[in-house]
Amino acid sequence: MSKYMLIMRGTDESNAAMMASIDEMMATTRQYIEDLFKAGVYVAAEGLDDPSQSVVVDFSGEVPVVTDGPYGETKELFGGYFLIDVASKQEAVEWAKRVPAAPGSKIEVRRVPEEDEVPQVDGTFVKEGDVRESTGQI
């Protein structure tokens, strides 16, 4: 089994269409999550707030610069995700095809690497737990 993130990407138009029928979209999404759960592949799912409520921390200069709102000139925005644990990329794609989405939306399917696949430092893997422990998070 491998984890895959189904990343919801929408445009201003697809997001507006979704908001126009939000009650129906929410009911359909709840059913989709129930289907994931019944199939034993559900790990997590979250939606994000309106992009106009966000800030961007830009690291392109010497000092990080914080600006209001989403990235400039963005045609698509990350709106949320489903995290599933399935046997193959093809199975993840099949679940992605079933995501309730407004016309014009896209679902990006990306595998979540296992701990032993993360980058190495001096020939050893940097594991999330080690990083969290060394920074006092656990």
DSSP code, position 19: H
Residue 57: give its domain's CATH number: 3.30.70.1060
pLDDT in tens, 31-61: 999 999 999 999 999 988 877 788 888 899 9
Of 99, 80, 87, nearest to 35 (Cα)? 99
What's the CA gap between 40 and 33, in Å, rounded? Answer: 11
pTM of the shown model: 0.74
pLDDT in tens, 75-122: 677 888 999 999 999 999 999 999 998 888 899 999 998 877 766 566
Domain range for 79 is 2-134
The domain total for the chain is 1
